[in-house]
Amino acid sequence: MTVPFKVDLTGKVAVVTGGGGVLGADFCKALAACGAKVAVLDLRQEPADKVANEIKEAGGIAIGVAANVLEKESLLAAREIVEKELGTCDILLNGAGGNNPRGTTDDEFYDGEAVKANPELKTFFDLDPKSVGFVFDLNFLGTLLPSQVFGEAMTQKKGSSIINISSMNAFTPLTKIPAYSGAKAAISNFTQWLAVYFSKAGIRVNAIAPGFLVTKQNEKLLLNEDGSYTERAAKILRNTPMERFGQPEELIGGLLFLASEQAASFITGVVLPIDGGFAAYSGV
């Protein structure tokens, strides 16, 4: 992978949860390109190994490890493998997360008449509590638990860094996705809390907040079959001052900057928007 610039992460051990995903894979490859030894953690072994093998084919050092970010015992087992193969963690990137359709409404605004006309319409009142809980746990606990498991050894090392993945939803919630928006707001708050907590232990804690990207995971929500933008996509672009969607590789510069002790040694507790100006725009 081509990175926008290189920081020196030689000898550093980077652990990336969700490393087999669309964005996680790019994060892993960027860290490896800067010299880090990368542990690619994913719920399934196959995608973790795939990314690790691609890194090794490019001349880097990586291993794939299966781990469930919602199960502490699974993370402890993963830590044992990582420390045996690569050493203790220096950089933890909490990339695991996501949404669930059952925690999403069909409507943007409640309209009683519309509900009467279409009883199948899923409103706020129909949200499944278990699905809402799953989305919140996947994002928030899926960040807290890896920070507990890998952060303990990081307190014994100088220049360690935890980087979380927040979202535009953390600043202003989007319609339809209350569970995901609330979970990402919790991530931003937790990032600040953990930054203070670890401030005297030598661990910097920051987050990046990606704006709107078109990936394989969301392209059906943003693009029609003919390639034109959906109504929701057009609304996003109208409220993005740069008037375009971001590219996954445009997250890499912010990630590497925050990961580098040399570049960001006095930066902690920051949530960095990478969003084309979306968070700064009032819509007027």
* 73-128 confidence digits (pLDDT tens): 999 999 999 999 999 999 999 999 999 888 999 999 999 999 999 999 999 999 99
Q: Look up the CATH superfamily of 13-102+136-211+246-276.
A: NAD(P)-binding Rossmann-like Domain (3.40.50.720)
Report, as residue numbers or ranges, the catalytic residues. Answer: 180
Confidence at residue 217, expressed as pLDDT on a 0 to 100 scale: 67
Average pLDDT score over residue span 244-262? 96
Q: What phi, psi does 63 have (nearest 5°)?
A: -135, 150
Amino acid at 217: Q
Contacts of 26 (CB under 8 A, 6+ apart): 1, 248, 249, 251, 252
Q: How confident is the model at residue 245 (pLDDT cuts 50, 70, 90)?
A: very high
Q: Which two tokens stand for residue 260?
A: 């580098």
CB atoms within 10 A of CB 113: 7
Residue 159 half-sphere exposure, CB side, CA atoms within 13 Å? 13
